[in-house]
Chain A
Amino acid sequence: MPGRPWRARLAALGAGTAILIAACGGAASPSPTQAPTQAPTQAPSATPFEAMSYPTAGEVDCAAGTYNGKPYTGMIKSIKALDAKTVEFTLCGSDPAFLSKVAFSPFAINDTAYLEKAAADGSIVRNPNGTGPYKLKEWVQGDHITLEANPTYWGTAPLVPEVVFKWSTEAAQRLVELQSGNADGIDNPGPTDFATIANDPNLKLYPREGLNVFYVGMNNTYPPFDNEKVRQAVAMGIDRQRIVDNFMPPGSTVASHFTPCAIPNGCVGPEWYSFDVAAAKKLLAEAGFPDGFQTTIHLRDVVRGYLAQPVIVAQDIQAQLKTNLNIEAKIDVQESGTFIDNADAGKLDGIHLLGWGADYPDVTNFLDYHFGAGSSAQFGKKYPDIVAALQEGAKGANDDVRKPAYEQANTLIKQHVPMVPISHAGSATAFKADVEGAHSSPLTSEVFSVMKPGDRSQLVWIQNGEPAGIYCADETDGEALRVCEQITEALYGFEVGGTKAIPVLATACTPNTDLAVWTCTLRDNVTFADGATLDANDVVLSYAVQWDAAHPLHKGRDGSFTYFPSLWGGFLNPPAQ
């Protein structure tokens, strides 16, 4: 790892202070930035390892929910490098989903020196420096991204030396590119093209499990959706089976709960309302809208795994609302980024069509992100009883202990109806038949290093869109995450084509008995693409820059770092709302 003069100076200062205090007869208390260096687990090097910890100043008071006297809603109490190869995460309570969370690509580990430079000057957004099987060769904005094999990769070398990412929003165009031989693989073929691909001997379809949810959201701060009966009426007045039967790809199912059943505790508690127009009309009349009302259906015309035909589904919901409930809905198609920003800011005054694909297979990824303490304002004011149930559920030591809390949360979600879960949609990837190792991932995290496209030296992959940036701590779009996952790695990752968390940069992360302290041991001989060696301080700083909103390196593409507070409960020094 390159030299760090400022840290050397701090070390000297710390050592001097310790000597002085020791000379005065007192016990030297460790500096917050430099936890006592324990015996290194690797051969001593010329520069002794100076272990970092975070936070560097003050302490998190989990019981009071404060940090340095300021409100703190997060789950992490501290992160410490115990030695060069050991990191300790201390949490405010049990977290059985810890491994799944640290396996998620936004929590990839960056080199300390690189972060200090690239996050500060903004180059991190376009020039990643990871430990993964590939490194960035070029990014021609608006056209393609080329990755080349990382020659110093610690694991099995990639089977294909180059991967080219291209993008097109049009499913038909992606298919043409695949059929014509310009691409080796494509994401999300159109639902109408599944049969075409399946019947083509030169192509192969890889169906993707519906580990996602498509929902109709309602914001409780705008009338008439501030009335719970209106929201319940909408829930009962939409024929979800009709939507799944006619507009969703094969493999899709009607959502019985917000979270897919494949996720533990995802669908505990009562099933969603059945389609009942008479009951819905009765509720509308009780709410004071016997003749319906006028509203807007907001959406973005962007294909995602959970919704392959946005405008067509919007039109069917529009028709159903009119026919079943006499609700006149106008369709408002917004630009993708604007739509997401408006949804998160709680600016969508009607109903909105949105969805969610699993990032890691835990119920917190679905429920906490949308309805938890750190969730956005897309459904308006938070429902305190749902938040409390989710906080209770997140603390449970295992799935059985957590189950009652999630039953309660799902019951309350059904009662309050912040949204109507429509479906868990199947989707697919498609590859040329000669691509060995081709697969689809239920987490949309396809791994290209295990694929071999015939005798070609390049694998061309066409996805839905271009990443906005590839510093994925500050991205939420799956199009960006997939690129990041080829270049950078986290402590854990997910098995190829599956959802099981497996060690990657860590050889193991082991918990204490109540799952509140997790100790991760790092893999030896891992280097970043720039030649720097992975150590525990890299882990501490990679998390710290996301965790602390006031950290000087808390910088990315737009600085929102959306996933961190959603998954870990909140920022240190959170920005003013």
Chain B
Amino acid sequence: MTATVGKVPDALADPLAAQKPSSLWRDTLWNILRQRSAVVGLTFLVFLVAVAVFAPVIATYNPNEPMIGVQAGAKVRMPPCIHLLGCPANLPQHLMGLDGNGRDVFSRVVYGARVSLQIGILTVGFAIILGALIGAIAGYFAGKTDNVLMRLMDVVLAFPSLLLAIAIVTVLGQGLINAQLAIGIVAIPVYARVMRASVLSIREQEFVAASRALGESRGGILVRRVVPNALTPLIVQGTLGIAAAIIDVAALSFLGLGAQPPLAEWGSMIGIERNAVFAAPHLIIFPGLAIVVTCLAFNLLGDGVRDALDPRLNR
């Protein structure tokens, strides 16, 4: 139908029409930016992403290259040496010192950011995709499908997550990819439950009933109507889950089951030097701080996203 609409005088124009149409994402971003903790988290995160992306520029040395025999005065487990802060000029400058193999700790912490961010995002991405799929199918199709899938998830949830991850890595073999896979598998039920809960609520909404009345297929309704509207809690859970995934993989690496030497991964850096905690505490403190800051950033951001997306908390 084509209609010819005459120009409405400005005085009579609807003030609501003059407003920009509302967008979920823009509103969310705006809500996030209104929360101080979320802004702090986001700032840290942007900084960490920048460190990870520009690691080759920021790092002062090759993270895997021992300095002993290469640099005069370099000794294993050398404490931080910053010339500006009074470290003798005849000693090589290393902002965070050298590790037990004589490698520059600062460069390893910087490259470790790359590994940890990649771990967090890939692990949670994997868990969200599978969890969302299982949760959506269980929630939408209900009945026996729901029962079977969710009991399976309950079984996985019944195990302590880190213990189950250790068992999975033991079966699959040590290594960063297997550790990520294990942590991802363990996290699936959480996302499946969140997704299922959302789907159960949305499938009863009127617009879904309308789609059904218009003859849209069940698959079509699920993919085009239900899932897009059920994603919000998943995003919140995912943001918080990244921090947990980073800690879990660091724990596996600490135990020697995740990242394998000489890869610069924060958990493995702490694990290998754990016995030097008194003699060379800088080897534990710096990678430990990096883990704390990264997880804090994701947690603050996650809390901000949750608050921003929760209509009950809308101000």
Instruction: Write out the residue numbers on chain A whose beta carbons fall within 8 Å of the beta carbon of B64.
Output: 319
B311 located at the interface, meaning its Cβ lies under 8 Å from any Cβ of chain A in the complex: no
Q: Closest CB of chain B to A248's CB: distance in Å?
A: 11
Residue from B77, B100, B278 within 8 A of A172 (CB atoms): B278
A193 to B256, CA, bound (A): 23
- Do A192 and B276 form a contact, CB below 8 Å, given A242-B68, A246-B76, A315-B101? yes
B97 located at the interface, meaning its Cβ lies under 8 Å from any Cβ of chain A in the complex: no
Residue from B102, B272, B280 within 8 A of A311 (CB atoms): B272
B205 located at the interface, meaning its Cβ lies under 8 Å from any Cβ of chain A in the complex: no
Instruction: Write out the residue numbers on chain B whose beta carbons fall within 8 Å of the beta carbon of A242.
Output: 68-69
**Interface pair A311/B261, CB less than 8 Å apart:** yes
1/0 per residue, CB under 8 A from B, across A293-331: the answer is: 000000001000000010110111011000000000011
Instruction: Write out the residue numbers on chain A whose beta carbons fall within 8 Å of the beta carbon of B210.
Output: none
1/0 per residue, CB under 8 A from A, across B95-117: the answer is: 00000111000000000000000
**Interface pair A315/B262, CB less than 8 Å apart:** yes
List residues 179-202 of chain A with CB under 8 A from any CB of chain B. Answer: 190, 192-193, 195-196
B28 located at the interface, meaning its Cβ lies under 8 Å from any Cβ of chain A in the complex: no
> How many of A's residues come within 8 Å of B, CB to CB?
26
Instruction: Write out the residue numbers on chain A whose beta carbons fall within 8 Å of the beta carbon of B278.
Output: 172, 175, 192-193, 196
Residue from A171, A247, A301, A314 within 8 A of B76 (CB atoms): A247
**Interface pair B274/A170, CB less than 8 Å apart:** yes
A412 located at the interface, meaning its Cβ lies under 8 Å from any Cβ of chain B in the complex: no
**Interface pair B275/A333, CB less than 8 Å apart:** no
Main secondary structure of the interface of A (DSSP, over half): helix
**Interface pair A330/B260, CB less than 8 Å apart:** yes
Q: Looking across the interface, which residue of chain B has its beta carbon closest to that of A303?
A: B275
A340 to B124, CA, bound (A): 37
Q: Closest CB of chain B to A246's CB: distance in Å?
A: 5
**Interface pair B261/A172, CB less than 8 Å apart:** no
Q: Closest CB of chain B to A186's CB: distance in Å?
A: 13
Residue from B102, B256, B276, B277 within 8 A of A333 (CB atoms): B256
Q: Closest CB of chain A to B74's CB: distance in Å?
A: 10
A318 to B66, CA, bound (A): 11
1/0 per residue, CB under 8 A from A, across B53-94: the answer is: 000000000001110110000011100000000000000000
Instruction: Write out the residue numbers on chain A whose beta carbons fall within 8 Å of the beta carbon of B256.
Output: 301, 311, 333
A246 to B102, CA, bound (A): 9
Main secondary structure of the interface of B (DSSP, over half): loop
Instruction: Write out the residue numbers on chain A whose beta carbons fall within 8 Å of the beta carbon of B66.
Output: 316, 319
Instruction: Write out the residue numbers on chain A whose beta carbons fall within 8 Å of the beta carbon of B65.
Output: 319
Instruction: Kindly name the residue among B66, B101, B260 whose own CB sees the greatest number of chain A CB atoms within 10 A.
Output: B101
Q: Looking across the interface, which residue of chain A has its beta carbon closest to that of B276?
A: A192
**Interface pair A172/B274, CB less than 8 Å apart:** yes
List residues 240-269 of chain B with CB under 8 A from any CB of chain A. Answer: 256, 260-262
Instruction: Write out the residue numbers on chain A whose beta carbons fall within 8 Å of the beta carbon of B69.
Output: 239, 242
A332 to B173, CA, bound (A): 10
B31 located at the interface, meaning its Cβ lies under 8 Å from any Cβ of chain A in the complex: no
A175 to B277, CA, bound (A): 11
Instruction: Write out the residue numbers on chain B whose beta carbons fall within 8 Å of the beta carbon of A301.
Output: 256
B279 located at the interface, meaning its Cβ lies under 8 Å from any Cβ of chain A in the complex: yes
Residue from B101, B102, B279 within 8 A of A193 (CB atoms): B279
Q: Looking across the interface, which residue of chain B has its beta carbon closest to that of A242?
A: B69
Instruction: Write out the residue numbers on chain A whose beta carbons fall within 8 Å of the beta carbon of B277.
Output: 172
Residue from B68, B261, B279 within 8 A of A314 (CB atoms): B261
**Interface pair A192/B101, CB less than 8 Å apart:** no
**Interface pair A312/B101, CB less than 8 Å apart:** yes
Give me the interface of B with A, judged by CB distance under 8 Å.
Answer: 64-66, 68-69, 75-77, 100-102, 174, 256, 260-262, 272, 274-280
Give me 13 A-to-B residue pairs in the complex whose CB atoms sit less than 8 angstroms apart, sorted by A's number: A170-B274, A172-B277, A192-B278, A196-B278, A196-B279, A247-B100, A309-B100, A312-B272, A315-B101, A319-B64, A319-B262, A331-B262, A332-B174
Give me the interface of A with B, judged by CB distance under 8 Å.
Answer: 170-172, 175, 190, 192-193, 195-196, 239, 242, 246-247, 301, 309, 311-312, 314-316, 318-319, 330-333
5 further A-B contacts with Cβ under 8 Å, apart from A316-B66, A331-B261, are A190-B275, A193-B278, A242-B69, A247-B100, A319-B66
Across the A-B interface, the 8 shortest Cβ-Cβ residue pairs: A192-B279, A312-B100, A171-B275, A172-B275, A190-B275, A315-B261, A331-B261, A246-B76
